[in-house]
Chains A and B, each alone.
Chain A
Amino acid sequence: MFTVKAWSKGRARSGILQIVGGSSCEIAIETPALLLSTRKGLPAFISPDLLPSLPSPDSHILQFSPLHFLEGLTPETMANCGGLHQMLGLHEYGFAAVPRDSIVCLPECNGTNKIGASFETPCGRLLIKSLEYMKMISSMKPNLWATLADEVPAWVSIKRNKNSVDRTVRWLDECIALSSTGGAVFGAIVGGSSVEERRRCAQEVAKRNVSGYWLGGFGLGESMDERSPLLNAVTCMGSDLRIIYPSKSRGRFVALGFQVLQGIASGVDLFDSTYIYDLTIGGFALIFPFDQIERNVSDSQPSAIGGDQTKINLKATVYRKDISPIVDGCSCYACQNHTKAYINHLLNVHEMLAQILLEIHNTHHYLGFFRAIRQAIKEGKFEQFRQQFIENRRHQIFAASLAHQAGKSCTLC
């Protein structure tokens, strides 16, 4: 189901994830890959008839939270519909179920107890037990699913952190025991910011019959520097495992680009990110060139107003009369059909079409970034790619850290 095809120096690797969609059609996704985040199985704004306009097969793996469906669809109805593929009519797509999402179903560690994990959801705070969760999973029939986790922020006590590892491992056993579908199990790994706990959890999970790992509890207060050893602690075992890594970094591309690159450098294969959603809601469009290696370092672009060299804010008045596409030469539906001036207008009048177009472009662009990364890995140039990426943004990072020291808001946040 998963094979590593190429390794760069270090742990970064590129591979192929083969999954069987609805009506037993085969989907091969090259990794490292981005899982497109969805609400109830569909992207926030891209309707199903527009999905095929996104790069294929890169866009054919979708992440969803089973908890979304608590808002009005019972597991029985879901089962009657024949599972998520059937229900959404998306047979050529793979679905990855993760209990939480980073937008509306957030883990709530204070409510979590030994019986189940607690989440803040649109239907209020809910305690989800393994039994309920597995009922949802078996009715939805995702291609892969992460087990229930007790995610805790970096600042909890050692005891609470230990506890979270014990619970997560116990829920893993319960989930596996209750599992009745063919979907691949991704064992959740937690452990907060403690390298020892992370390692202990990873070792426990690895003893079980899992197809991959889901790295939970990141983006909950640990620093960027802390993250590498934490990642390395859990990605050191086994070469044939796929790992979903939720990266939650609101509106900070440079940081997120680093996060993705940092994750890949540690051997992470799949990324679950709300970045596109956050950009889209903020009126931002990605513009950075992703053929980083080819570009001359001294080729510095003039700083775009209302954004940085990574993204632009289309709400800015400077785009009022700009009749060029978001990115010249971009082949996405938005750039092929509409101008910055039109999107600027749509944002001004609160037309949802703005979000539709931005989500299409941003998804397209971000998938391009992942393709460039895979290419770099295959050519054995991943480290170079990563260094270049950091180099191109050094002055920004510097400015950002100065702004942080002065207690001001920076362009990255």
Chain B
Amino acid sequence: ICVFCLLHQILGRFNRARAAQLTLPHFVCQTPLFMPVGTQVPGCKCCIVTVAEAFQNIVNVCNGPLRYPLRPLRNTETAVTRVNFLHTAEAGVTGTIKGLTTSQLEEIGCQIILGNTYHLALRPTSELIDELGGLHKFMNWPRALLTDSGGFQMVSLLHLADITEKGVTFQSPVDGKPMLLTPEESIQIQNRIGADIIMALDDVVRTTITGPRIEEAMYRTLRWIDRCIEAHKRPNEQNLFGIVQGGLDPVLRDICVRGLVDRNLPGYAIGGLSGGEDKDSFWRVVAQCTASLPEDKPRYVMGVGYPLDIVVCSALGADMYDCVYPTRTARFGTALIPEGVLKLKHRAMADDTRPIDPTCMCMVCKNYTRAYIHCLVTKDAMGSQLLSYHNLYYMMKLSNDLHSSIIEGQFPDGELYAYMYPLQSISEVIFIWLTLHFPLPAGLYVASYRKCSQRVMFPSGSAMPWRSLESISLPAVLNSQHPNIE
């Protein structure tokens, strides 16, 4: 029997989109909500950077205020060494990570932050966190916390990880010895850390993989959830979320959703996405899962953080998201703006005396010009501090806007989101999506979103990763009332 310490009240709906209030032991949150990764070196997702990016990063670090030894990257190095190397590089950037204080995070409006179990278990160890009174007290964060199971990070960080029925076997990054993370152990660790929401250990496979492995992973995830529930010692203080697996196969996803719903968990996550699958497959899975998950429980799409994905997933009825994207991209000098992204490193920014986003009310946009940020980014620690601040503010504003526009029954409203995405394509896509469900109508929209990965760079330094080439070249878009792209 599960006892819940979570209350999920739906405050408003618009089609499938919902705005709710999530009452957690440490904080009352408003959904849809975005959770920044709050403690520790960033998770695996940021370690999967391209070699060029990482190398650039190291060069910057070496020129920057903090000098770290530069290790040459040789082509002959194995994939594993490379991943470890990249990770070292990440850690070496010290914090070009986020560098925000907990009071700044509160000020920005962060409601839940995510702690990486894998990293916390290595340092300072969950035992120490427990001894010192839990993660909330340790980092002096009064609001809600979520910890992941640690499995995903092992699988993606350490290519040597091996998954068996017992758990995830991996090589310790400390001494290279083989170690085993079982579902029971993952829960024990998370019980010691003490976050408001904890995640079940799942068997993660890339969505780009096909064949029987997907099925095996899904069934294993279902077997492991029982071991997680069994091991969970603090159900009155911590909410255990189960994770829906099953790759891109609707049948497997369906079996997994049913299996988890039978266990009556406090909340459900949709896992195994944002691993390189195309947008229409990704959205189809989210739409299918949200349609069959219980209405009265929160739904968390793991690892999703592009603004567009958050808008679309919210339209499909999802509530929670986490991603290192806003802070990671800040480190490389990229700001999130309503029109897309702004590359502050670009030469054109050097004499641009406007704020990053003239419509943004954040501390950075109120005080600083693009020109000043341009001369800080990737050179001084302050550059990534200020950009992370702005980017997180942007994400919080986006989730807030989603919340209120759903309550006001305007979602996805033409005015609000046409401003954000000038083609009005999002509302159109969602409209068509909601009307026809899947399969997604072939043609224009799919074609345009397939180009999401294509980066369009203007001479001004703005880049639009989530818009198609065609739409940008439309004179109507460039001459519309939206703030200038330049």
Contact = CB atoms under 8 A, between A and B. Distances in A.
Contacts of B93: 350
B381 A355 contact: yes
A304 interface: no
A87 B92 CA distance: 30
A73 B95 contact: no
Closest 7 CB pairs of A and B: A352-B95, A89-B367, A72-B375, A352-B99, A350-B94, A77-B351, A73-B375
Contacts of A351: 39-41, 94-95, 97, 99
Contacts of A49: 104, 107, 363
A349 B41 contact: yes
Interface stretch (A1-9, A59-67, A194-202, A334-342): A334-342
A40 to B, nearest CB: 6
17 contacts: A39-B382, A45-B99, A48-B367, A49-B107, A69-B375, A81-B372, A87-B369, A87-B372, A88-B372, A281-B65, A320-B124, A341-B132, A349-B41, A352-B94, A352-B385, A353-B98, A354-B94
B375 A45 contact: no
Interface in A338-377: 338-339, 341-342, 344-345, 348-357
Interface string B70-110: 00000000000000000000011111111111111001000
Contacts of A57: none
Nearest to B384: A352
Contacts of A357: 101
Size category of the B interface is 35 or more
B374 A352 contact: no
A226 to B, nearest CB: 31
Contact of B95 (A44, A344, A350): A350
Contacts of B104: 47, 49-50
Interface string B335-374: 0000000000000001101000000000100111101101
Interface in B39-75: 39-41, 63, 65-66
B128 A321 contact: yes
Given A321-B131, A341-B132, A40 B375 contact: yes
B353 A352 contact: no
Interface string A31-42: 000000001101
Contact of A333 (B101, B371, B375): B101
Nearest to B41: A349
B139 interface: yes
B367 to A, nearest CB: 3
A103 B115 CA distance: 35
A122 interface: yes
Given A39-B382, A45-B382, A77-B351, A352 B372 contact: no
B309 interface: no
A71 interface: yes
A3 to B, nearest CB: 33
A104 interface: yes
Contacts of B101: 50, 333, 337, 353, 356-357
Contact of A338 (B98, B128, B140, B385): B140
Contacts of A350: 41, 91-95
A403 interface: no
B123 A74 contact: no
Given A321-B132, A349-B41, A356 B353 contact: no
A80 B351 CA distance: 9
A344 B95 CA distance: 15
Interface string B201-215: 000000000000000
B108 to A, nearest CB: 10
Contacts of A402: none
A281 B67 CA distance: 10
A342 B102 CA distance: 13
Nearest to B380: A39
B34 interface: no
Contacts of B382: 39-40, 42, 44-45, 47
A18 to B, nearest CB: 25
A76 B140 CA distance: 44
A40 B92 contact: no
Interface in A294-316: none
B347 to A, nearest CB: 9
A349 B132 contact: no
B149 to A, nearest CB: 20
Contacts of B310: none
Contacts of B132: 321, 323, 339, 341
Contacts of B386: 47
B467 interface: no
B119 interface: yes
Contacts of A333: 101, 103
B350 A341 contact: no
Given A44-B382, A345-B124, A76 B351 contact: yes
B400 to A, nearest CB: 20
A173 B51 CA distance: 52
Contacts of A342: 138-140
B380 to A, nearest CB: 5
Contacts of A103: 65
B328 interface: no
Contacts of A348: 123-124
Contacts of B95: 350-355
Contacts of B379: 71-72, 122
Interface in B406-422: none
A239 to B, nearest CB: 39
Contacts of A321: 128, 131-132
A104 B379 CA distance: 12
Contacts of A72: 350, 374-375, 379
Contacts of B103: 333, 337
Given A74-B350, A345-B124, A351-B40, A281 B66 contact: yes
Interface string B447-465: 0000000000000000000
A337 B102 contact: yes
B152 interface: no
Nearest to B374: A72
Interface string B293-322: 000000000000000000000000000000
B91 A122 contact: no
B394 interface: no
A149 B77 CA distance: 49
A330 to B, nearest CB: 15
Contacts of B128: 320-321, 341
Contacts of B94: 350-352, 354-355
